[in-house]
């Protein structure tokens, strides 16, 4: 059983993330989308909300599940009996940070491999941060996120936010 972890903040999941998940689901027996708890990043959606948005977006993929984790990513990978980590690479600008993380993770757990996947070109400029900004300013985000995520963003951004 080949299992891969696709970790990230996913606040919220975008069509770019989904493209990477669909590609990974063809290569691995099991894909676990791991939503990381990060105290230092103020998120728009809670961890369970982000998980739920991912679960709905990946309903058509039978070998994909969403889960949350805290602590070191490599510990989570070992705990879930996975062999590898997938990260999406959109542009050269992503590379330095990703390379550093991959090497640190290798140092921490030598047998955990990091694989990089490129999303479709049409998604390379999409990020959760920009999608939130465009949505907040009233722009159309229909092309960038699944419909239920668009609705969740609209609902969250028109209601008072969590403290
Ligand atoms: O979507 P993001 O915010 O770029 O994802 C970053 C993430 C969650 C993959 C990274 O911050 C992470 O792995 N966090 C878990 C804590 C950890 O293992 N840190 C050391 C990484 S070398």
> pLDDT tens string for the chain (163 positions)?
999 999 999 999 999 999 999 999 999 999 999 999 988 889 999 999 999 999 999 999 999 999 999 999 999 999 999 999 999 999 888 999 999 999 999 999 999 999 999 999 999 999 999 999 999 999 999 999 999 999 999 999 986 556 6
> What pTM, to 2 d.p., does this model score?
0.96
To the nearest 10 degrees (0 to 180), the angle between helices 147-158 and 128-136 is 50
Is the CATH number 3.40.50.620 carried by domain 3-158? yes
Please name the residue whose Cα sits nearest to atom 2 of ligand 1.
Answer: 8
Q: Report which ligand 1 atom has the smallest distance to the Cα of 97.
A: 4
* Beta-carbon count within 10 A of 161 CB: 8
Confidence at residue 10, expressed as pLDDT on a 0 to 100 scale: 98
**Is the CB–ligand 1 distance for residue 105 below 6 Å?**
yes
Q: Which residues are catalytic?
A: 17, 41, 90, 128
The pick from 4, 6, 8, 13 for probing ligand 1's pocket by mutation, whose C-beta has the most ligand atoms within 8 angstroms, reads 8
Q: Which residues contact 126 (CB under 8 A, 6 or more apart)?
A: 14, 15, 16, 90, 144
Q: Give residue limits of the domains in the chain.
A: 3-158
**Is the CB–ligand 1 distance for residue 9 below 6 Å?**
yes
């Amino acid at each position: 059983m080949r299992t891969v972890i696709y970790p990230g903040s996913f606040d919220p999941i975008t069509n770019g993330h989904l493209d990477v998940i669909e590609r990974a689901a063809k290569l691995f027996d099991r894909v676990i989308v791991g939503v990381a708890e990060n105290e230092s990043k103020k998120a728009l959606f809670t961890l369970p909300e982000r998980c739920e948005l991912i679960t709905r977006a990946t309903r058509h993929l039978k070998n994909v599940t969403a889960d949350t984790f805290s602590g070191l990513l490599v510990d989570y990978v070992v705990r879930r009996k996975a062999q590898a980590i997938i990260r999406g690479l959109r542009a050269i600008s992503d590379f330095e940070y990703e390379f550093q993380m991959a090497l640190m993770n290798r140092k921490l757990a030598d047998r955990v491999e990091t694989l990089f996947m490129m999303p479709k070109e049409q998604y390379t400029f999409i990020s959760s941060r920009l999608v939130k900004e465009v949505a907040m300013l009233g722009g159309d985000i229909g092309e960038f996120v699944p419909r239920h995520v668009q609705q969740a963003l609209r609902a969250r951004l028109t209601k008072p936010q969590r403290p």
